[in-house]
Structure 1
Amino acid sequence: MTMTMTKLPRDLVEEILSRVPVKSIRAVRSTCKNWNLITKYERFANKHIDKATASERDKEFLVIAGDYLFSLNLNETHSRKFDLSINHRGISIAREHSDRTVFIAQAFLSQGLLLCVWRNVIDNRSRLLVWNPYWGKNKWIECPMTYCLYEWFAFGYDKSSGRHKILRFSSNNGDRYMEIYDLSSDSWRTLDAASDINTIKYMESGLSLKGNTYWYAIDYEKEDFNISLSSVKEEKLAVLFSPRDRFVIDIWVTNKTDPDAVSWSYFFKVETTQHLSGFLFENFLIDEEKKVIVIFDIYGGANNAYTISGETGHFRKVDLRQSPYKRPYRLVGCYIPSSVQI
């Protein structure tokens, strides 16, 4: 008689389920109460995530389109070209308002946790949503009542304690404020600290890496490049330079990322006949091993992407309008699942 899964020893069931791809864990949990219970234990989560992060097939990039979060994978074809596979089953990012007065202004990914900054265009107020896609749990956070014209956020964690924190910069008529939120204590506190936020390119979100958040500072009188930051998994920063007067893309990656010191090494350069001035370069991803980058071009509602090989210089256009998500794409980062509880 064949032994069914329901009669197998618990340790064996746990070992089998730990080999299921992360993107299928939601289906596993909805199969039966016993599997749902097993996969909710932290011991299983740590084993499952260890197997997933060691596997190339589970590497994915998270992207937001409108109110949906979904994933992209970069695949190599038989002809040594690269293409994007789009997960058409996006997850709705819940919000309280269904009208267009509320939108996601910024998004961060830190140690498997997603932070979305929801902005209301009517009262100029923000609410924060922290979400662990692996567990499917989220937490809404109210910002301080301080009125502001401009806001910048940072998302990271304390390496010594592992506690996640959110930093909020705000500015209004020359007055500056800085507050920090601790997820473990569910509380805000005001910081008495000065920061020169005028040089930060505030149109873009910062980029969270290894517990810290990075921006690039600009000199408005000397900037002659399109510049953007991205990350290589959760290990390195990547920066893209493109001169405004030449069809060239330069990519650099870090070999050192400390809070007070960052050093870079040259990755590759691509010369192209494509005119790149209209590209929104804050949307690009990089695969260091395959030596490939993907640039998202949503200028004028185009909603295209281009895979670019650093070895061959080959451009491949992907029309993202073929997906069910018609809104412009916002790249969040390379997703590595986390067992961190909110």
Structure 2
Amino acid sequence: MTMISDLPISLVEEILSRVPLKNMGAVRLTCKEWDALSKSRSFSKMHIGKLSAADESMIVVLMDYNLYLMRVVQAVNEDPFIERIGKLNKQNKISKVFHCGGLLLCDLREDKTRVIVCNPYWGQTRSIELSRYSYFTWRFDTFRHALGYEDKGSYRSYKLLIRFTDQYYYTPTNECSLYRIYDFDSSLWKTLDITTLWSIRYHHHGVSVKGNTYWPASLINSPTEDYIISFDFTSESFGPLLRLPFDPMYSENVTLSCVREEKLAVLFRNAEVGEFEIWISTKIEAKEVLWSKFLSVEMETGSFSLTRNNSFFIDEEKKVAMGNCKTFKIVGEAGYLKKMELVERAGRDGNLYMENACSYVPSLVQIKQPASGRKR
């Protein structure tokens, strides 16, 4: 009788590459040969390719300080459904999450002196001790982190940016900010010499596209967010203000997202015409971004809930937008609306219930660990 160990390696790779992501841990524990095979670059590239081509969107959802990896399946002629792939945090409670290039940057709820960077695909983590400036905040929780990278050809050099500011929520005037950056290769911090004539509001997390981070921005003393601003992790500097494809009013929220970390998406609520619009970038460069309208949906379909937690998701092929607030919603053209449950709330006090979410694309990136004897 032919055993699976008798099969050619290429055929074993093809068989195992069809295993769902949530079951890869069991595959690696089966035997040493499968563990080594599953961690090889050829197999991992094939496996991630199949995951990316699947008829689903993967998202990371933060609920009650726990981090869950989920997939949204939208099969043809069937109702969409959400599958929980697994819980990502084992011990630490998570308060915020940021996705960049397959890596997750996690703020810890009970330890403000460090952050955790992880690759869920490999199960790798790195703990980074924060600069002392980041946890001696001037006002309540007024620092934000962003993860990005410099493309060095043969590998990506990851960096961590800390932005903290003497600015309280919706007061973009007279902003005073400090920026510090951490290099994964050298394990060193440095302060950046940055003077701005614009403001990023406190509640914006930022999104990563091609290794750089983007935020909605406004001019100092301006009540409207008419622009986006990007931080280039190669030059370690901000680019110019780039105009949004619409003119938002003061009361209208602007929210950024990304499409597979290759394109920007922006949502704004247009109360004047009773709808929200989503635009997707068709070209994005350091000094120019071009936009195309992706979707317009009447607000009465429940669209306000898409932006309540400051995040939404796009399925460009199916032309739908997704977001979560109490229930997960998928909205599309001609009044299309589907509602689904995510996971039940674990906390009893609704006021303490927190949620955040980001899209997730698996990655082969290996997290560089600090040199022996060097501070993390």
Q: Is the 8 A contact 1:128 1:140 kept in 2?
A: yes
Q: Is the 8 A contact 2:313 2:322 kept in 1?
A: yes
Question: Counterpart of 2:157 in structure 1: which amino acid?
Answer: R
Question: 1:105-142 CA distances to partner (integer Å, 9 max, x unpaired)?
Answer: 3x221111111122558xxx352111001100101101
Question: 1:33-59 CA distances to partner (integer Å, 9 max, x unpaired)?
Answer: 221122122333233223433x22464
Pick from 262, 275, 288 the counterpart of residue 261 of structure 1.
288
Q: Is the 8 A contact 1:74 1:85 kept in 2?
A: yes
Question: Counterpart of 1:318 in structure 2: which amino acid?
Answer: M
For residue 118 of structure 1, what is the aligned residue in structure 2?
Answer: 108
Structure 2 distance, partners of 1:93, 1:247, is 43
For residue 213 of structure 2, what is the aligned residue in structure 1?
Answer: 213
Question: 1:283-318 CA distances to partner (integer Å, 9 max, x unpaired)?
Answer: 211111101111222xxxxx12221122x2222222
Q: Is the 8 A contact 1:120 1:126 kept in 2?
A: no
Summarize the alignment of residues 150-161 of structure 1 with structure 2, pairs less than 5 Å apart.
150-161=142-153
Q: Is the 8 A contact 2:106 2:117 kept in 1?
A: yes
Pick from 282, 291, 310 the counterpart of residue 310 of structure 2.
282
Pick from 62, 70, 73 the counterpart of residue 64 of structure 1.
62
Structure 1 distance, partners of 2:85, 2:346, is 8
Question: Counterpart of 1:90 in structure 2: which amino acid?
Answer: K
Pick from 303, 322, 329 the counterpart of residue 306 of structure 1.
329
CA drift of 1:210 comes to: 0.6
Pick from 273, 292, 295 the counterpart of residue 300 of structure 2.
273
Identity %: 33
Gapped runs of 5+ residues in structure 2? 168-174, 225-248, 348-352, 368-376
Are 1:129 and 2:156 matched, yes or no? Answer: no
Pick from 283, 286, 291 the counterpart of residue 319 of structure 2.
291
Question: Counterpart of 2:338 in structure 1: which amino acid?
Answer: R
Aligned length in residues = 319
For residue 27 of structure 1, what is the aligned residue in structure 2?
Answer: 26
Question: Counterpart of 2:363 in structure 1: which amino acid?
Answer: S
C-alpha RMSD of matched pairs (Å): 2.7
For residue 86 of structure 2, what is the aligned residue in structure 1?
Answer: 89
Given the superposition, is the C-alpha separation of residues 168 and 195 from structure 1 closer, same or farther in structure 2, using an over 3 Å criterion? Answer: farther
Question: Counterpart of 1:217 in structure 2: which amino acid?
Answer: A
Q: Is the 8 A contact 1:117 1:126 kept in 2?
A: no
Structure 2 distance, partners of 1:236, 1:325, is 34
Summarize the alignment of residues 140-179 of structure 1 with structure 2, pairs less than 5 Å apart.
140-146=127-133, 147-149=136-138, 150-161=142-153, 162-172=156-166, 176-179=177-180
Partner secondary structure for residue 217 of structure 2? coil
Structure 2 distance, partners of 1:181, 1:256, is 29
Partner secondary structure for residue 74 of structure 2? strand
CA drift of 1:103 comes to: 4.5
Are 1:203 and 2:200 matched, yes or no? Answer: no
Question: 1:168-209 CA distances to partner (integer Å, 9 max, x unpaired)?
Answer: 12235976422111122222222222245x621221211011
For residue 181 of structure 2, what is the aligned residue in structure 1?
Answer: 180
Partner secondary structure for residue 70 of structure 1? strand
Are 1:250 and 2:277 matched, yes or no? Answer: yes
Gapped runs of 5+ residues in structure 1? 96-101, 298-302
Are 1:316 and 2:338 matched, yes or no? Answer: yes
TM-score by length of 1: 0.83
CA drift of 1:214 comes to: 0.5
